[in-house]
Copies of this chain bind each other. A is one copy, B any other.
Amino acid sequence: MRLLLISNSTNPGEEYLDYPKKHIQTFLEKDNIGEILFVPYAAVTFSYDAYTEKVQSRFDEFGIKVRGIHRESDPVAAVMAAQAIAVGGGNTFHLLKHVRESGIVDAVREKVRRGTPYVGWSAGSNIACPSICTTNDMPIVEPESFEAFKLIPFQINPHYLDTHPQGHAGETREQRIEEYIAANPGMYVAGLRETCILLLENGNLSLIGDKPLRVFRNGQKPVEVKSGEDFIFLLK
């Protein structure tokens, strides 16, 4: 299985998919990908066509054609025929609702488990997890279920951040994740900070990025794991 799971598409002040572009390119070049099937269902305030075009502009640099799944009359067949699959960020609930309605959950899981490369960013990384229960997004629409692609056995919290808006009485991110692990004992949550990426290939999980992964599990103190250290415990 080959997964590239990116925390955030864009750093403040940078262009769309700028910082992760070299990693996306390297990841897809290994399998000589010429066309990628793109799932744009996380888009809410702009069209799926506009989203696909925006991603195409970046993928033009890699010489890869981006094919929007929303244009396919048979989305399951499109998944089964895909060279690679990309799932973009936006609203995770909107993404999962429309992924489920298009009936592709099992097809994506099977195809990616068989080796087709999967690239996700933000909501697209979250949906690779067992569920979307560690998203930061607002539940603006109700998906049929919170169950997601289950490509990995642990949960990612993308855009993991340590700071907290000043004077705000709401929960910190850490408190939210502590609630998740209390309600879901046994599950690991990986707080993936911005500009960081998880790469799974050859049965090995590694972290790309300068900031450590913050890992949470019920009954344990959160631990910081740096790039180059061993992440295999997350896959057990």
Instruction: Name the interface residues of A119-169: CB closer than 8 Å to any CB of B.
Output: 131-142, 145-146, 159, 161, 163-169
> Nearest Cβ distance between residue A182 and chain B, in whole angstroms?
5
> Nearest Cβ distance between residue A206 and chain B, in whole angstroms?
22
B12, B168, B179: which contacts A44 (Cβ < 8 A)? B179
> Nearest Cβ distance between residue A168 and chain B, in whole angstroms?
6
Q: Is A73 an interface residue (CB 8 A)?
A: no
Q: Is A180 an interface residue (CB 8 A)?
A: yes
Q: How many monomers of this protein are in the complex?
A: 2
Instruction: Name the interface residues of A171-185: CB closer than 8 Å to any CB of B.
Output: 171, 176-180, 182-184
Q: Which residues of B contact A45 (CB under 8 A)?
A: 178-179, 182
Chain B minimum-CB-distance residue to A9:
B169
Q: Is A94 an interface residue (CB 8 A)?
A: yes
Q: Is B170 a contact partner of A138 (Cβ separation < 8 A)?
A: no
B9, B138, B161, B177: which contacts A134 (Cβ < 8 A)? B138
B11, B135, B178: which contacts A169 (Cβ < 8 A)? B11
Q: Kindly state the separation between the CA atoms of A194 and B165 in the bound complex, as whole angstroms.
A: 13
> A159-B170, A178-B45, A182-B45 known; A142 and B145 CB under 8 Å?
yes
Q: Kindly state the separation between the CA atoms of A93 and B131 in the bound complex, as whole angstroms.
A: 14
Q: Is A179 a contact partner of B91 (Cβ separation < 8 A)?
A: yes
24 contacts between A and B (CB under 8 A): A8-B170, A11-B169, A12-B167, A44-B183, A45-B179, A45-B182, A91-B183, A94-B179, A94-B183, A131-B142, A133-B139, A134-B140, A135-B138, A136-B138, A136-B170, A137-B176, A140-B183, A140-B184, A141-B183, A142-B146, A159-B169, A163-B167, A163-B168, A169-B194
Query: What 7 pairs across the A-B complex have the smallest Cβ distances?
Result: A140-B180, A138-B176, A44-B179, A159-B170, A142-B146, A8-B169, A140-B183
